[in-house]
């Protein structure tokens, strides 16, 4: 019987984002891992970020954060490409998506 679960993978830049969260990294990891069972949990984005999703989660003592990702259906993978507080995340995300598209990752 095939598993309905997805793998959650982070790009190297997203791993750096996670490391910068320091004491909140474990909380953020737990939130992101919810995508294994529900890859469509985050809301869809439009415009230059069309095809990506944004998962909102709260970190106790650090406020609301986002994890932006793409769902790679054929590989059953949620690829997280940026993590951080809401402020300016979408501007940074546009640059990262452009680089992922240039590299053929997405």
Number of domains in the chain: 1
> Which CATH number do you get for residue 84?
3.30.2310.20
Nearest to residue 100, comparing CAs of 79, 76, 77, 78?
79
Asked, for residue 38, whether it belongs to a domain, the answer is yes
Specify the pLDDT at position 1.
43
Residue 2 lies in a domain: no
Asked if the structure places residue 1 within a domain, the reply is no
pLDDT for 12 equals 97
pLDDT at 61: 83
| pTM for the whole structure | 0.92
Each residue's pLDDT expressed in tens, for the chain with a length of 106 residues? 457 899 999 999 999 999 999 999 999 999 999 999 999 999 999 999 999 999 999 988 888 999 999 999 999 999 999 999 988 899 999 999 999 999 999 9
Domain residues for the domain of 71 are 7-103
CA dihedral sign of residues 16, 64, 50, 7 = positive
Do the domain assignments include residue 35?
Answer: yes
């Amino acid at each position: 019987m095939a598993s309905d679960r997805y793998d959650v993978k982070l790009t190297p830049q997203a791993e750096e984002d996670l490391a910068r969260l320091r004491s909140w990294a474990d909380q953020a990891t737990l939130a992101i891992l919810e995508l294994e069972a529900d890859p469509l949990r985050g809301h869809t984005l439009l415009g230059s970020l069309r095809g990506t999703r944004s998962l909102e989660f709260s970190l106790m003592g650090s406020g609301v954060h986002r994890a932006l990702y793409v769902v790679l259906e054929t590989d059953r993978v949620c690829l997280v490409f940026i993590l951080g507080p809401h402020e300016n995340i979408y501007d940074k995300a546009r640059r990262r998506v452009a680089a992922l598209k240039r590299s053929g990752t997405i």
